[in-house]
Amino acid sequence: MTGRTMTIAMLMALGWGGAAAAQDVPGIEICTVEKTMERRTSCLQSNVDFLQKSLDKTRLDQQQKIDSANRQIEALKGALVAMQKSIEQVQAAQKKPDPAAAAPAKDATPPKTDAK
């Protein structure tokens, strides 16, 4: 067998070379080639069904993404509130004077000066 014949044989074995395999793939079909009204109607209905399934799948995917984003937003809001409380506590602690450092000790004696 030559290389080309071998490739064609492999494709046929995998099911990629036959015309029947293309008919099994769902998708949009060209319905104008159908001669009878019943077949054309069936073809159009198949297209409509395919499009509805595609829209439903896309709608579900997008809704899941929106729900996930909303959950992340809520989690971030909670984290923001917690950080704001922490910042307020730190600022409040910085504004309060330290009572031990601000008041002089009562037992402290005044410094001695040499008055000679």
Is the pTM value of this prediction over 0.85? no
Q: What is the pLDDT of residues 44-61, one digit of tens each?
A: 999 999 999 999 999 999
Domain residue ranges in the chain: 25-92
Q: For the residues of the chain, what is the DSSP string, one character each?
A: --HHHHHHHHHHHHT-S-HHHHHTS-S---GGG--SHHHHHHHHHHHHHHHHHHHHHHHHHHHHHHHHHHHHHHHHHHHHHHHHHHHHHHHHHHHSPPHHHHSPPTTPPPPP----
Q: Which range, 21-25, 31-35, 60-64, is most confident? A: 60-64
Find the mean pLDDT for residues 87-113. 73
Which of 30-34, 40-44, 47-51 bottoms out in mean pLDDT, i.e. has the lowest?
A: 30-34
